[in-house]
Amino acid sequence: MTDNKTLYPSTADTQKGTEIADHPVEVGHGGEWHQQDPGAPRMTTAQGTPVSDDQNTLTGGERGPSLLEDFHLREKIFHFDHERIPERVVHARGYGAHGYFECTNPIPELTSANPFQEAGKRTPTFVRFSTVAGNKGSFDLARDVRGFAVKMYTEDGNWDLVGNNIPVFFIQDAMKFPDLIHSVKEAPDRAFPQAQSAHDNFWDFISLMPESMHMMQWVMSDRAIPRSFRFMEGFGVHTFRFVNAEGKSHYVKFHWKPKLGLQSVVWDEAVKINGADPDFHRRDLWDAIQNGDFPEWELGLQIFDDEFADKFDFDVLDATKIIPEEDLPIRVVGRLVLDRTVDNFFAETEQVAFCTQNIIPGIDFTNDPLLQGRNFSYLDTQTKRLGGPNFTHIPINAPRCPFHHFQQDGHMAMHNPTGRANYEPNSWAQGGPRPDPKAGFKSHPTETPGPKRRLRPESFADHYSQARQFYISQTPVEQDHIANGFAFELSKCVVADIRNRILSHLQLVDEGLAAKVADALGHDLPAPATPARAPVDLKVSDKLSILKNGPDSFKGRKMGILVSDGMDKTIFDALVDAVTAEGGMVEIVAPKVGGVTASNGEVVEANQKVDGGPSVLYDAVALVLGKEGAEKLGKMLPGKDFVSNAHGHCKFMAMTADAEPLMKATGLTDPDGGMMTLKSPSDAPAFVQACRAVRFWDRAA
């Protein structure tokens, strides 16, 4: 008999686990990883079977598929998938909308997939955006990866392209996914921090996983704090296959390109937006659709063959790597439009079940070990979360095409096979559905040679080259933001050894970046990490920068106009007209939400009270004030904050001459190139045209 002390050790027995081990830790690549700790207990499965390798899934050959017999992977992911009910373990905070995918450039020569067969063909679609780490009640502007999951209701069944707004991932093998999420979630002994990665557990894990270094450049960049779902890219992350009607295969990577261009916020804005409006992204998507300003993305493809894959510098099955668009240009084949909000959030957005294994004829998988693990995991997750195997009966998950099978009963079954036959093969005349050898789904016949082994292929071993490429591809402003992101997050780590390990990795990414972060932390630079494979220098890729791919108009953006009694109504009207003509939106902010009385006696209603509508909510601001109103606002902290935050966040600013007292109160008496005085109504169009650049980054310098 096992005593309770053995099963449930006391706090004293486990307390030493809260400290950083003082024994040497060897950080290697793939199967070469090991941690030297003679006193550590032997890792086992839940059944007590000793574990030899906790880093790599059992595969058929070095680059072969993951094997179903890997009981350690199965048990580990099975338990992870069932940790939370009913909330999603990851991507819990999400927001969705209906729309359609329209094919603009058919590609039947590449794939038999139904949505790509003819120009103008529209496929109904549901899209869910999400954050990864926080719970359902967390805030929108967390520094986090954003989910970009697309469900297409095709004539051949549902196709789920379950991606992110970042094209790479933290890990190469699904075996490590539970550990990654455990590390970033709130610590189990204290249940905080929530929806943030700035803590010891996360950075401890990352510091021991060199394969994460590329992803961490993206996460510390402004990509992780997008201004809107409408202004961010989406990626399928993995390499998939296209298969045409003749059975010929090509590799494909999926890209969603926002028609409105890329845009993010700065970290100080994100913090303040979360305080002012924690539903900022949700509200933005809702308002855009309700206003008829339907969000739109182009679907771009990177299509290549085995010859390209063999010559490419990195393994196309490695989810921590990209193929730069300069090396393999995007081919646009269609557009995604979101034109309808949900009728009920729970019934649709909360109950929608995405599964990476939901593909249709013409689409197929590759042996990417992270993708293989996701295919294994998602069905299990949704079955547990939604209460049983019949979650496909929920309308948001049900196919829109006819479907027939012999699956029956189970929890909350809405429909069952009719008639006598509930099995196949059968000989009954009305015996139900039969397989279709011609039109049915067929897996592409790829070879799977090699012995069964737990290993990571050597082609996955370069963890720093593309991280360096991402960093050098950014503008100086963006590079500063990345350094600041690392410095802020690492400053929240109590244990100095964790900070030093990250600095040792950053030196292999960029010495200048490492020096900036070390200086901000007050650290001396440690010795560089020893890479499994020495990094190489890659050329700059402009497509990796947000600022190099920003908008070319103010369309879809929002201007906040701060008004007061006695304002010039003609200038106000001209500004509203100019923003509207550009396709932008206006929100009126005033000392009182009831509005103001203009100099001509007209009453203008407000959308926001000044302390409830801070400038962080807007892409540009204008101060259309009367002199007395400006003096009153200059004595109010929210009024001064409205101006000083807009200036500090490098936003374009316009003001009437009577706004001078407010500008003086905030100490901004020396205008720069991002500030314009509106002397007459004719100045309004020029200001809106300047706002197309979104930020006046010269001010940051």
Residue extents of the structural domains in the chain: 80-166+180-202+222-393, 551-699
pLDDT category at 9 given cuts 50, 70, 90 is very low
Buried b (16+ CB within 10 A) or exposed e, 542-553: ebbbbbeebbee
**pLDDT tens sequence across 167-205:** 999 999 999 999 999 999 999 999 999 999 999 999 999
Cα distances (angstroms) measured from residue 504 to each of 212, 497, 522: 14, 10, 15
Look at residue 592 in the predicted model and tell me its pLDDT: 96
Look at residue 48 in the predicted model and tell me its pLDDT: 77
Average pLDDT, the chain: 92
E strand or H helix that includes residue 538: none
Which amino acid is located at 467 in the chain? A
Look at residue 604 in the predicted model and tell me its pLDDT: 96
CB 501 within 8 A of CB 569: no
484 carries an active-site annotation: no
pLDDT at residue 47 is higher than 70: yes
With CA atoms as reference, report the closest residue to 59 among 47, 72, 70, 46.
70
476 Cβ neighbours under 8 A, 6+ residues apart: none
422 carries an active-site annotation: no
pLDDT category at 418 given cuts 50, 70, 90 is confident
Q: How far apart are CA 414 and CA 574, in angstroms?
A: 58
Instruction: Cite the beta strand spans of 449-509 per DSSP E.
Output: 452-454
Q: How far apart are CA 266 and CA 147, in angstroms?
A: 20
Q: Which CATH superfamily is domain 80-166+180-202+222-393 in?
A: Catalase core domain (2.40.180.10)
pLDDT at residue 552 is higher than 70: yes
438 Cβ neighbours under 8 A, 6+ residues apart: none
CB 73 within 8 A of CB 314: no
Q: Please count the CA atoms within 13 angstroms of the CA of 469 that sit on its side-chain side.
A: 23
Two tokens at 36?
A: 């030297």
Look at residue 159 in the predicted model and tell me its pLDDT: 96
pLDDT at residue 138 is higher than 70: yes
CA 180 from chain centre, in angstroms, equals 16
Q: In what order do the strands lie in the sheet with 620-624?
A: 608-609, 585-590, 558-563, 620-624, 653-655, 675-677
End-to-end CA distance of the chain: 69
Instruction: Look at 32-46, 61-75, 503-517 and tell me which has the smallest mean pLDDT.
Output: 32-46
Look at residue 44 in the predicted model and tell me its pLDDT: 80
Sign of torsion over alpha carbons 465, 66, 449, 50: positive
**379 or 220, which is more confident:** 220
Look at residue 18 in the predicted model and tell me its pLDDT: 53
Q: What are phi and psi of 59, to 5 degrees?
A: -125, 160
Query: Comparing 80-166+180-202+222-393 with 551-699, is the CATH topology the same?
Result: no
From the list 29, 56, 72, 91, the catalytic residue is 91
Look at residue 22 in the predicted model and tell me its pLDDT: 57
pLDDT category at 52 given cuts 50, 70, 90 is confident
**pLDDT tens sequence across 249-260:** 999 999 999 999
Q: What is the pTM of this model?
A: 0.91
With CA atoms as reference, report the closest residue to 595 among 566, 636, 637.
566
**pLDDT tens sequence across 335-365:** 999 999 999 999 999 999 999 999 999 999 9
CB 213 within 8 A of CB 464: yes
Sign of torsion over alpha carbons 38, 52, 318, 181: negative
From the list 164, 367, 390, 397, the catalytic residue is 164
pLDDT at residue 300 is higher than 50: yes
**403 or 142, which is more confident:** 142
Q: What is the mean pLDDT of residues 470-475?
A: 98
Largest CA distance in the chain: 90
Q: CATH number of the domain at 551-699, please?
A: 3.40.50.880
**18 or 423, which is more confident:** 423
pLDDT category at 428 given cuts 50, 70, 90 is confident
670 Cβ neighbours under 8 A, 6+ residues apart: none
Cα distances (angstroms) measured from residue 337 to each of 256, 261, 365, 465: 11, 15, 26, 36
**CA-only gyration radius of the chain, Å:** 27
Look at residue 561 in the predicted model and tell me its pLDDT: 98
Q: How far apart are CA 405 and CA 440, in angstroms?
A: 13
pLDDT category at 85 given cuts 50, 70, 90 is low
